[in-house]
Structure formats: C-alpha cells, structure tokens
A and B are shown apart, each in its own frame.
Chain A
C-alpha cells in the first residue's frame, strides 16, 4: 500500500460517528486483505501503480466555473459531488412526490439505523476499493422512491474532481415496489486525481430502474468504483455503462437476482486510445429461479490502449429456468492495443438457457473495401465502421436524449483514433 493510503486509513480509524460500526468493519477487513498485485486474479491485467503513485498533495480550490454538461432534452434533477463533497442544496430541490433524497449524516437516528442495516449489503465485500470507500466515505447520499411512485424527471449524479483531489462518494438508492426511476451516474474530469465512487441499488418487487454509468474520466484521473444492484421479484433493470479510459479506470458491477422473474439488461461499451486503460468486472448472481440476464459488452481499443473485461454469470443450484446471455465483441484498431476478455458462466442448475461468447476482431476489411468501392475514403469508412460497432448499443439506450448527447462525443473519439 502507499503512503497516502496508509495515512487515510489511519485517519479513518479516528473518526467516530453514526457510520462507525460499518467503517470499523471495513477497516478490519482491509487490514486482513492482501493488497492486490498482478498475481491477484481480479487485478491480473490492471496495474495499481497509478493508485500507489497518487500524490497526497492537497487539492487546489475547486474551480466552480466548471459547469455541468447540458444534455438537450434530458430533464433531470442534478445531484453534484465536487472533489467528493456533496454540494447540492437539497432544500432548494423541488422533488416530485414519492422521492426522498437526504444525506444520512443529517437524517434522524431511525433512518441512520435503517441505512446502516443495508449499507454495503449489496456491494460484495471482495472489492478492495469498495472496502476502502466504506472506510473513507464521509457520508451516504440516500435516495428513496416510495412504492408505486413513477419519478419524473431523471436524476443525474455527477462526481467531478479537480487537480490532486480525491473523492470517495457513496450513494444508496432504494426503489419501492412498483416504483420507477431513471438515474444517470457521471464521473468526469481529466486532472490527476483519484476517486472511488460506489452506488448501491435496491430494486423492489415490480420496480423498474433505468440506469446509466458514464465513466468518462480520462487522462491522469484514477477512477475506481462500482454500481451494485439487487433485484426483487419481477424487478426490471436496464443499465448502460460507457467508459473512456484513463491511466486507470476500473468499474465493478454486481447484479443479484434476489427475487424470481427479474429482468436485467446491461449494455456496456468502451473506447480506448493512447495508453488508456479501462477494466470492467461484471458479476451476475442468479440466486433464484426464472431470472433473465442479457449482457452485451463491446470494446474498441486503439493505439497502445488496454481493455479488460471479466464477465461472470453465476447460476446457483436453485436458479432453474434462468435465461442468461453474455456477449462480448471487441475490435482492435492497432496491433499494439490489448484486449483481455474473460466471459465466465458458472452453472449449477440443470434447466437453464445460457449462452456466452467473446470475439476479438480486427476491423472488417471486406466492409472497408465495400465502402471504398462507393467512393468513401478509408479513414471515413473506418470511422463509420467503428461507430457502427458501438452504435447498435447506443441505439438501444432507452433515453434518446442521452444517446444524442453521447453520439458526437463518440464520433470525436473515433475521429482521433488511428488504425495501425
């Protein structure tokens, strides 16, 4: 472990507040855990050097002139963390009926006790940086949707970091029975910084969650975090994860089918250039029968970038009639780029329908020639093809407004990529 981390942990030991029982538990677990190295399976392809090297200089004052991206047509309530501090004035937010948002530190004791009982129960303990977040987070933002409430507009959660900042944001989201919510997590900034951003989602019976995670930190920003979901009976989750790489970007996703007949769809795509790295570990647990999981992951890696994908679907003995599909397609743009993919299906039930596959391809030369034969330049053809590879998933984003916002950013990325 590094010096800043040791100091941070030492400091955390001294804090005493409502969160202490969980914090102490996490600190104890961290003390027992071996710091991951390249020999640790979950970190085999991803070096933690950028974390270890992170300097603990105090962050510069946050530049508040930095405005949130305008997303045309996307109506949302903004919840903003700057350098890890929650800066939104909750009193000024006009919340629709059925939606409660509060910081746990300011809630009453009963609420705190309820949160403590659930906190870190959906995010599995094996995530080292999840434990670190448990230990270092200063507060928990709690978002609750009452039974039967259909929340409009969407919620946009933004974590933005400036130079030398670190942030350990933590959010807990509860959807009651038959509740509906759209939430979009945004991680932005390209300054040298470090953040762990974890969000837990408890999705009640018959509830529907439309979820996005835009892990768009680039450059020297080190980003480690996760989105973790627990699905109740007949719950419906539609999740889209978009990643740009940085010196180190890692997202852990967990989905647990806790109630029968739940439906989980996850589309993830990442685009990497230069020496960027992006690592997604996604685990789906089918603990009960009749669940459905559809997972689609697409990666484009250019130049000397490095992509890691580990997708595990675990179907427990009792999870009969599970339908699970995991599809991972990858496109290499250069012979120095690296894609490490490992789709895993672990099946202990005998009556299930499962499929998984991973392909790594170079750009389709036949399609390139076909396009050139119509007068399209080779570079434009490459851009169209790459975009096509990802566009199928952008098209599937339930929010048209977010898709339209994302598309030009993707195009810009593609335009900069070179085939080598």
Chain B
C-alpha cells in the first residue's frame, strides 16, 4: 500500500521521544514512530512493554501523564487536545476492553459520535433515517445482528461481539489513524476474519493503521508494511512483515535490552 502512495509522502502520525507515566510509574520511555499515510504498522512486544499505554496516551485517557515528547497527527499537536478533540482530529482507538454502557443504546451512541465529528468538521448532520441506513450497513459488514444496534453499548456482548462493535464504530467514523489494541485477543478464527476484513476494507492511501498484537496470526489477515517490537517503553527493533514470523518462532527474549550486569535476559 505505502509504495503505491504518490499523493503524500509526509508523515500522518509522528511520535517523538514520548515519555509517559501512569500513577507515577514510567511506562513509555522514549517512543519514536513515524507513520505515513496508507501504511499499516504492527506493534508487538512482551506483556507490560507499554503497547496499550501508547494507545491510551495518544487518545487522551485521564490518568496517563505525558512527561516528555510530542505526538502529531496530520500536523496537529495531539497532546494539547482533549480526548474528544483528538477523535475529531481523526484518531481512533479500538479498545482492548471496550466499555459497557447500559442504558445508552448502541445506535444512539454511534449517532452521537458521528454527529459530533461531523459538526466539528463543519459538515451537515445526517438525518436519523440516513444514519440508520449507514449503521445497518456497518452492522452487516461486521456480521453483527441488527438487534445489536438497539442494545446498550457493549452491554452483555461477548468478547468477539465487542471487538466487532469497535470495528463497526471505525467503519462509521472513517478516522485517519486507527489504533487497534489487541483487537484479536479473545477472537475465534471466524471473528478474526470478520475483523480483519473490516480493517482491510478501510485500507486506503490516506488512512493508516497501528495494529497492536501479541500474535502473528492477525498479521496473516492484515498484512503490515512494518513491524516494530516495543519493549520497556520504546521500540527496540523494526522490520518488515518477516520480523513478525521471526518473533513467532523465537519469542522476544533475544531482543530484551541487557541489564546492568551485562547478562542477556
């Protein structure tokens, strides 16, 4: 995808020397990442490396403090913005654990999201009837029964249904940069394919993806342009799709930074 992109070679998302902490514990320790329009970057790495933290920090989750560094989306300084403004600027995080909101219907939630983003872009609101059509189409695309539009947001959804619901939101919001935080965890092979197809249908020369995953499996369906290994808060190795296969075969141990005694972990 990236090599077919002739329109724009400047970066869509630029993360520079990002340091961030949660409850005074440093998690990100100098993260650098540059993503050009149309690219798909996979981020892999051991538990506790900071993969999810990256998504939360970029999306503006309360409690995540940026100590240092910058993050720009299409030239906009993300870290200066409120969470909703980051979303309106084109950032989308598919949550590892989507939140249940009983009493707020999925449809109402989806419409409020789309309305807010359209309004921020100065576009006309879609009518309820038009939106219902769009929502139904998105619902079908991720293979969820239409009844899920009426149910409370993620309320009582299975793990797989929640992930499909995240992808449905992505389809409707049409973001510039999508971060998929372990969207494959807890999915059976059918659900994995549905999710991957949803993502692949959205790949385009002006939209980029960060796919955070533990497993090579997802990358069989969503082919990355680059694979990075995140360990202890920074990227320790980058490569092409073959790196994921290597990691699958050898694990992460050979990439761990050496500790002070000079022993390899």
Binds A, one of B54-62, B70-78, B234-242, B257-265: B54-62
Candidate in B83, B87, B99, B152 with the most chain A CB atoms within 10 angstroms: B83
With A378-B82, A388-B152 known as contacts, the answer to whether A372 contacts B87 (CB < 8 A) is yes
Is A116 among interface residues, defined by CB-CB distance under 8 A?
no
For A378, give its contact among B59, B84, B109 (CB under 8 Å). Answer: B84
B88 touches A370 (CB 8 A): no
B104 touches A375 (CB 8 A): no
Residues of A within 8 A of B95 (CB): 370, 373
A385 touches B104 (CB 8 A): yes
Is A365 among interface residues, defined by CB-CB distance under 8 A?
yes
For B116, give its contact among A364, A375, A385, A392 (CB under 8 Å). Answer: A375
How far does the Cβ of A417 sit from chain B's closest Cβ, in whole Å? 16
B84 touches A372 (CB 8 A): yes
A376 touches B112 (CB 8 A): yes
Complex Cα spacing A389 to B102, Å: 7
B101 touches A372 (CB 8 A): no
A369 touches B83 (CB 8 A): yes
Complex Cα spacing A198 to B166, Å: 51
Complex Cα spacing A210 to B94, Å: 44
A375 touches B173 (CB 8 A): yes
How far does the Cβ of A86 sit from chain B's closest Cβ, in whole Å? 39
B103 touches A370 (CB 8 A): no
User: Which of the four size classes fits the interface of chain B?
Assistant: 20 to 34
Complex Cα spacing A362 to B93, Å: 25
Name the CB-closest residue of B to A377.
B84
Name the CB-closest residue of A to B117.
A375
Residues of B within 8 A of A371 (CB): 101, 109, 112-113
Residues of B within 8 A of A375 (CB): 84, 87-88, 113, 116-117, 120, 173
| Interface of A (DSSP majority class) | helix
A377 touches B116 (CB 8 A): yes
Is A397 among interface residues, defined by CB-CB distance under 8 A?
no
A373 touches B109 (CB 8 A): no
Is A366 among interface residues, defined by CB-CB distance under 8 A?
yes
A366 touches B173 (CB 8 A): no
User: Which of the four size classes fits the interface of chain A?
Assistant: 20 to 34
Complex Cα spacing A22 to B34, Å: 85
How far does the Cβ of B221 sit from chain A's closest Cβ, in whole Å? 25
Is A317 among interface residues, defined by CB-CB distance under 8 A?
no
A376 touches B101 (CB 8 A): no
B61 touches A369 (CB 8 A): yes
Complex Cα spacing A370 to B61, Å: 9
Candidate in A367, A378, A385 with the most chain B CB atoms within 10 angstroms: A367
How far does the Cβ of A370 sit from chain B's closest Cβ, in whole Å? 4
Q: Contact mask A344-371 → B, CB, 8 Å, 1/0?
A: 0000000000000000000011110111
For B101, give its contact among A370, A377, A378, A380 (CB under 8 Å). Answer: A370
With A369-B62, A373-B59, A375-B173 known as contacts, the answer to whether A385 contacts B101 (CB < 8 A) is yes
Is A384 among interface residues, defined by CB-CB distance under 8 A?
yes
Is A391 among interface residues, defined by CB-CB distance under 8 A?
yes
Is A43 among interface residues, defined by CB-CB distance under 8 A?
no
A387 touches B84 (CB 8 A): no
Residues of B within 8 A of A235 (CB): none
Complex Cα spacing A389 to B95, Å: 23
For A374, give its contact among B100, B103, B113 (CB under 8 Å). Answer: B113
Name the CB-closest residue of A to B116.
A375
Complex Cα spacing A376 to B60, Å: 13
How far does the Cβ of A388 sit from chain B's closest Cβ, in whole Å? 3
B101 touches A373 (CB 8 A): no
Can you spell out 11 A-B residue pairs with CB atoms less than 8 angstroms apart? A372-B83, A372-B84, A373-B93, A374-B87, A376-B109, A378-B82, A384-B101, A384-B104, A384-B109, A385-B103, A388-B103
Given known contacts A374-B113, A375-B116, A377-B84, what 6 new A-B pairs fall within 8 Å (CB)?
A: A367-B100, A371-B101, A371-B113, A375-B84, A385-B103, A391-B104
Q: Which 3 A-B pairs have the closest CB atoms?
A: A388-B103, A374-B113, A375-B87
